[in-house]
Amino acid sequence: MRLIVLSVAILLTAGTSTNVLQDQTRIPAGISLALKAGNATELSKYMNSTVELLLLDKEDFYKKVVAETILKNFFNEYHTKDFVIRHQGARNDAQYAIGNLETEKGSFRVYFLLKKVNEELLIHQIRIEPDTAK
């Protein structure tokens, strides 16, 4: 009987710690929703004050407001149809995600890196490049 109770306790503890780990690697849903909607203003709410942006022919560190404007221009030219996160992970205080952005003009691979700033996860890097696999 003790063995059964001990086994159940261990399984419950293991399940709880797995859920905690999954929550730590979960990217805020608002980021996916903003990308899916092509909404640069909403996406900027999750950006650090300075963001490394790699987007088609642009590659530099930009202030948040400048990065937002560049992304607005991109979304105006490439109207989004869908965005799906394909992979996400975490290491230390950083998290990342890789996804596919479908637009009316083609498919793009999206990568973004988030780091904790004052206990808040903020985007430090966004990379949007044509998806050559399709």
Mean pLDDT, the chain, integer: 86
Confidence of residue 25 (pLDDT cuts 50, 70, 90): low
- The tens digit of pLDDT for each residue in 43-93 reads 999 999 999 999 998 899 999 999 999 999 999 999 999 999 999 999 888
CB 80 within 8 A of CB 38: yes
> What percent of the residues of the chain are helix, what percent strand, and what percent coil, each to the nearest 5?
40, 45, 15
**pLDDT higher than 60, residue 1:** no
Distance CA 134, CA 116 (A): 34
Structure tokens at 73: 């221009």
Q: Please state the rounded mean pLDDT for residues 1-5.
A: 48
Q: How many CB atoms lie within 10 A of CB 111?
A: 15
What is this structure's pTM? 0.79
Nearest to 111, CA basis, from 94, 129, 93: 129
Q: Considering only the top CATH level, what class is 28-130?
A: alpha beta
Find the helix or strand (DSSP H, E) in which 118 lies.
none
